[in-house]
Structure 1
Amino acid sequence: MSLTTLISWVPMVPLAIERLLNSLIGDRRPRDHDRLDNEDRQQLEHNLREQVERNNALAVQNQQLSEQLVKKERKKINDALTSQIQQFVKPINANEEEVNTRNDRQTYQNQRSFEQIQTNTELATENMELQKQLENYQKEHEEQLKEMNKLMKDLKEKKLDSFEAIEKNDKRAKEALIQLARKAKPIGMEGNNVALFGLTSTGKSTMLNNLIGEKKAAIGIGETTLTIKSYPTKDFILWDIPGRNDELSYMSLEYISFFKGLTRRLILIHCTIKENSGMMKFLDAIGLNYDIVVNKMDRIEEEERTEFCEQIRKEIEKIGLKGVGHVFFVSAKYPRQFPDWLDMVNYLKNS
């Protein structure tokens, strides 16, 4: 063996010796788990405990789910049994309910019929009494009626269908009308009698129904009141006057005597005093007081109501109306919306 070869082996001798010793005494290097320190061991134990807790929680959830499934199945079975029982019981209950419903309906209809008969009887009695008084009045004032009828005929021929038109175009006819009206005697009516006047569709019937507290007067578009009708209440008798759009009809001697016999006269408007200023001027001329009711205030925008009320008062002053007692701003459709409604009701009750 050459020297060069020996020299090349020299670096490998220590490695060979180490391998020989390891083979003789065994590998004494510590394993991985032996090198774990206390901190690593504690972390491992902690992780194991968490895993056990998770397993326990899953077991509890599985138990709860199982119980819920059992309850659902039981409920399905109970519902099915209940449904079957109800199918047998339902026809019996339905027959009983049908009989009870028919009986209740018949009782209600009988009650309403009885109330309607009472109402019609009261109205018929009131209207018959008024008719008798008018007939007696016509007999007692035959000459005045002839004179008034002649005057009305002349005014119609001249197409003077309002007091304002008569006042403007025929002074003599105006004076004759006022003189005849002042001579007319009031028709005697017992109790507190309140009449509602107004042109067509000013809401008289709606107001009357709300004052009564139930629907008795017909409501609709156009004129629904064709004759004078009375509606007795606990506190007053309400009279619904036809909403004629020609004032001349109100100037007959019979109407004037009826006006004079009333306790209160409510004139309804909803936009302007000019709607019925002629009627108001006529009542002024014959010395009768009246109250103005501005209806349908709910149609006025809230921010414009104060200005609107002021405008109505200015119109009264400008026209020069003298017989105005109170001015009420209300809504017959929504009575609670405006405080004047309650004031008006109390005023009528205490008349």
Structure 2
Amino acid sequence: MTTVKFVKAPTLKEKPDVSKIGFGTHFTDHMFEMTYTTGKGWHDPQIIPYNNISISPANATIHYGQAIFEGMKAFRQGNKVVIFRPLDHLKRLNNSARILDIPPVDIELVHNALRQLITIEKDWVPNKRGQSLYIRPFIYADDGFLGVSVGKSYKMYIILSPVAAYYAHGFAPVNIMVEDTYVRATKGGLGEAKTPANYAASLHAGLVAHQKGYDQTLWLDGVERKYIEEVGSMNILFKINGEIVTPELDGSILSGITRRTVLQVAKEWGYPVSERRISIDEIKDAYKKGVLEEVFGSGTAAVISPVGVLGYKGEDMVINDNQIGPFAQKMFDYVTGVQCGAEKDTHNFTEFVTEV
């Protein structure tokens, strides 16, 4: 097994009050770093003091965007620290690498390095329900030349950030605007990859949505502008006449780990579950008939995010009287309960790392 070198930070930071900081604003004392060089492969894995990264002004990623990332979380369960579905996230990182022509990482090596990093930084894992240590692995091309081509050298890092709820208002219904003017991704493009380009493509539409009083944007397909895809930071699910319905994975939306969790658990709870193409017209029709019972998002950052208002072409559909739906509440309680140890983890979703 490859040894991960550890360089201890000379001084340690004061731990912040997580309830008083924003999402992703504070970072731990150490980070993981690894280098890729053509002909040598991935090498020199090490855990080093958290510091700024030095890059060339001609860095290939700055100019041409060859980069990917992941997001997962570690939690306190009493005196234990666990990570939620880490191997699934690392496998998805390699899938993003495939799409962006980035050399895949050795999952076993990175997994072990992540466990070592979390063990070193275990005192940074918050101990209150709803709080966690956010884990951000990322890879970028590190070549210092101007030219549109696949990189020859790469850097990988894992940084850690203690966080509270993703939304400042906590677990409460959000207002979503269905976007029918701008396009984020199309089948055959980068939509399935967790890459900065997808998020850059969503920024302007998100700004327009905020200006109109909405929290986020719900994307439609880029060809016909009629089929539901995903929200900027999460997958989207609907409860229609008792059935849980979500867009199928067709290459233009992210294969969410929380989405996968929700669908698996919903089936075990006895709900009919459907992954298929679903049009905005079908949603409107279900709303008019009174069978659109709940709408909610799923993602690592917010876990479950109930939707209270769905706006489309200037008209608002108010879902469940703008209240948290019973299914969304039950799923949120279950997933967060598993994460914090209040619910029994019968699926081995969480992985024990260390004791505190």
Please confirm whether the aligned pair reaches a TM-score higher than 0.5, indicating the same fold.
no
Looking at secondary structure, tell me which structure has more helix per residue: 1
Looking at secondary structure, tell me which structure has more strand per residue: 2
Q: In terms of Rg, which structure is larger?
A: 1
**TM-score for the superposition, normalised by structure 1:** 0.24
**TM-score for the superposition, normalised by structure 2:** 0.24
